[in-house]
Amino acid sequence: MDFAQAIIEATSDVFNTMVMLEAAPGMQATEKTTAFNDAISGILGFSGDIKGMLRINCPNQVAMAITGSLLGMEVEEIDDDVRDAIGEIANMIAGGLKIYFTRHNHIIELSIPTAIGGQSYTVHSLANAEWVAVPFTLAAGVMVVELQFVGLK
């Protein structure tokens, strides 16, 4: 199964139909970025045939642009609307991944989204998990959608 393709399909679908913003997928990332400054990450765990975590990492500017477009209003600061929106985007992308996986005969169940934000934080996952990340370029900056997973036979 092509996980980068799964990320691109699920993310493009959400951005084309729900967020209404152009998000151009780039080349699959080769190096992990784990430290973030003035950013928000939407995180959602999933389990089943494949166990893992989906994470979308957005610089504050990108998070505000996404929220503004999703809600149809001006967003000038990182508030609860932005945190809710980034969690919800993670949820929607995970829903798209679930459909993609199901098409490939892998059933997963989703947990609930959490938004992590702050001036300075690092994220960390199991060392032995597989990792696939795809950057998306928006007018406001670059968002990275990452999947970490284990268990695929």
Measure Cα distances from 152 to 1, 2, 50, 136 in Å: 9, 12, 5, 25
Is position 115 an interface residue for another protein (rule: CB under 8 A)?
yes
Q: Which stretch binds another protein (CB under 8 A): 2-10, 14-22, 123-131, 136-144?
A: 123-131
**CA 4, 44, 66, 58 torsion: positive or negative?**
negative
Residue whose CB is less far from another protein, 29 or 116: 116
Measure Cα distances from 45 to 1, 54, 87 in Å: 19, 6, 12
Element (DSSP H or E) covering residue 147: strand 141-150
Q: Which stretch binds another protein (CB under 8 A): 12-20, 66-74, 112-120, 137-145?
A: 112-120
Is position 84 an interface residue for another protein (rule: CB under 8 A)?
yes
Restricted to residues 8-67, the positions that interact with another protein (CB under 8 A) are: 43-48, 51-53, 55
- We find the least distance from the C-beta atom of residue 24 to another protein, in angstroms, to be 27
Q: Which stretch binds another protein (CB under 8 A): 3-11, 19-27, 59-67, 124-132?
A: 124-132
Q: Single out the residue of 7, 39, 35, 1 nearest to residue 135, CA to CA.
A: 7
Cα-flanking dihedrals φ and ψ of residue 34, to 5°? -120, -15
Residue whose CB is less far from another protein, 5 or 125: 125
In the chain, the amino acid numbered 1 is: M
Chain positions contacting another protein, by CB under 8 A: 43-48, 51-53, 55, 80, 83-84, 87-88, 108-127, 129, 148-150
